[in-house]
Amino acid sequence: MELNRYIDHTNLKPDATCADIQTLCAEAKAYHFASVCVNSVHIAQVAAALAGTDVAPCCVVGFPLGAMEPEAKAFEAARACALGAKEIDMVIDIGAAKAGDFSRVEADIAAVLSAIAGRALLKVILECCLLTDEQKQAACLAAKHAGAGFVKTSTGFSTGGATEHDVALMRAAVGPEMGVKASGGIRTCADALKMIAAGANRIGASAGIAIAAAAEEEKQGGKR
């Protein structure tokens, strides 16, 4: 397993500077991470920095609350794709999910998918810490029915992050056809490996360098 290719190297801080984002991209290229994930204000810079590499430009949409009109999320996603995004991580309408209105959740996802128009992979953030297991399952099915590529545990900006329980639940809900991204509070190689064992095939982390370095150290240790 090439752990680096599981990692979305992430900086979603509101005070991230252009210099911070340039460093993030340089690190991702050096380590061959799966993507660089940023707020949409930075996506043009990221797309330019990653052109011709094996690292995908990724940005969040409706982040971090998801409490936006579907049309607003759709516009943000379409604009991000026009600026070079190849992956979009959108936050669902969490209030609709808590109310049990999963037709509204699905319509929200479908609006973003329509705006993307096949130009980018869509990952759907559930914010699991705010939902019951039944609501998580139903949200996963809404994302699957809408045609999203991935479901994702968390924004990392709410009351909790990724757990093995949630990753396993999401994997069971979507089956092998979709991706599952674990994100929020994943800071060590051990954390990442636990999430992968539970069913994740993408890891969102701001600690990508530390995770990759620890994985390489373990690999070298195993060769001795």
Catalytic residue among 89, 93, 166, 191: 89
- Count up the domains in the chain and report the number: 1
- CATH number of the domain to which 25 belongs: 3.20.20.70
Examine the residue annotation and report whether 152 is marked as an active-site residue of this protein. Answer: yes
Predicted TM-score (pTM) of the model is: 0.96
What ranges in the chain are assigned the alpha helix state H? 18-31, 43-50, 70-82, 94-98, 102-116, 133-146, 164-174, 189-198, 208-223
Among this protein's residues, is 144 annotated catalytic? no
Euclidean distance between the first and the last CA atom of the chain, given in angstroms as a whole number = 19
181 catalytic? Reply is yes
Domain range enclosing 164: 3-223
- Tens of pLDDT along the chain (224 residues)? 699 999 999 999 999 999 999 999 999 999 999 999 999 999 999 999 999 999 999 999 999 999 999 999 999 999 999 999 999 999 999 999 999 999 999 999 999 999 999 999 999 999 999 999 999 999 999 999 999 999 999 999 999 999 999 999 999 999 999 999 999 999 999 999 999 999 999 999 999 999 999 999 988 876 65
Q: What φ, ψ does residue 126 adopt, rounded to 5°?
A: -90, -30
